[in-house]
Chains A and B, each alone.
Chain A
Amino acid sequence: MTDLAAVYIGAGLAAIGCGLAALGVGNVFAKYLEGALRNPGAADSQQGRLFIGFAGAELLGLISFVVAVLILFVVR
């Protein structure tokens, strides 16, 4: 196996994190919708918290993207 192949495999493995963050983001919105359907009156006031949770979950996926790009373009 050449070094370049190892770089590509590493970048691909790092990109798994993006998929896992997708689970997290989906979970955030799913739980919000679940709660909002149970109590629609309280839904609007919690939208800020929804986006804070979204931002946190998404950031970790974006960091795995950054790691993949760093492996692809910088580390080699």
Chain B
Amino acid sequence: MSAGKINPMEQFEVAPIFGQRLSLFGYDVSFTNSALFMVVVFVLLALFMSGGMKRQLVPGRWQMMVEGAVGFIDNLVQVNIGKGGKKFAPYIFSLFFFILFANLVGILPLAVIPGLHTFAVTSHITVTAVLAFVSFGIVLFVGLAKHGFKFFSLFVPHGAPGWLMPVIVPVEFISFMVRPFSLGLRLFVAMTAGHILLEVFGSFAVQGMSAGTSGSPIGWLVWIASMAMIIGVSALELLVCAIQAYVFALLTSLYLHDAVHLH
């Protein structure tokens, strides 16, 4: 990064990794760095799970870890969906762990090795919006298949007086239709904002160091302050990675509760 203008957006660039663009029926289907990191996340997740699926009677450390993860999601589903929620546990599980692993892989500080630059898959709204729309689609499908047209009574809250209906039904309808957007937007913006923040402080540190080596003591002061901020922001980002994955899984299971039980 050259001194002067900081460009925090270049880290989110999606580019084909093998140089040339493949196109199929007029669409660009090249294998990009985003796709590569989705594969990386998938492989990591598969390795994590397969290490704990030996079903030993006395579980080892790894199996305890995987059992803890499964139990955590199982508990989340049981508390928030309740009866009839067990069949959604695999979906919530894959959702939570895909997002968690993608967030954590994206924040790995591997860029210290030249040429290696981890890519946060979830910092693109195309990815998070697809996840959100899959969740929303499942909610619609389950709700309509289970309750038929009674599903639309979701928009009519219990105990509201009749003269309020013309106001409250459109409001409920809008709040229902906005769900997938808020779900996808939250994850995408939280990850993007964190990476921009890290990039900005990283550039400050580099510029401070180059000013310091050319004889300016204030440069070293800037360098120390930026490095301290990077450490703090990285710790906060680790927390945000976990919380965002949890919130996505939690809200999906709450929406599923609405679809299964209608309030």
Among residues of B, the one whose C-beta sits closest to the C-beta of A64 is: B189
Which residues of the other chain, A, contact B250 by a CB distance below 8 angstroms? Answer: 48, 51-52, 55
If A48-B80, A66-B185, A73-B9 touch, does A55 touch B190 (CB 8 Å cutoff)? Answer: no
- Cβ–Cβ contact B193 & A58, under 8 A: no
Within 8 A of B (CB), among A33-73: 45, 48, 51-52, 54-55, 58-59, 62-63, 65-66, 73
- Cβ–Cβ contact B186 & A55, under 8 A: yes
Which residues of the other chain, A, contact B246 by a CB distance below 8 angstroms? Answer: 51
- Cβ–Cβ contact B247 & A51, under 8 A: yes
Task: Tell me if B14 is interfacial: C-beta within 8 Å of chain A.
Answer: no
Task: Tell me if B243 is interfacial: C-beta within 8 Å of chain A.
Answer: yes
9 other A-B residue contacts (CB within 8 Å) besides A51-B246, A62-B185, A65-B189: A48-B79, A48-B250, A52-B254, A54-B247, A55-B247, A59-B185, A62-B190, A63-B185, A63-B189
**Which residues of B come within 8 Å of A, CB atoms?**
9, 76, 79-80, 182, 185-186, 189-190, 193, 243, 246-247, 250-251, 254
- Cβ–Cβ contact B186 & A62, under 8 A: yes
A-B contact pairs, 24 of them (CB 8 A): A45-B79, A48-B76, A48-B79, A48-B250, A51-B243, A51-B246, A51-B247, A51-B250, A52-B250, A52-B251, A54-B247, A55-B247, A58-B186, A58-B190, A59-B182, A59-B185, A59-B186, A62-B185, A62-B186, A62-B189, A63-B185, A65-B193, A66-B185, A66-B189
Which residues of the other chain, A, contact B80 by a CB distance below 8 angstroms? Answer: 48
Bound Cα distance A55, B251 (Å) = 9
Bound Cα distance A58, B260 (Å) = 27
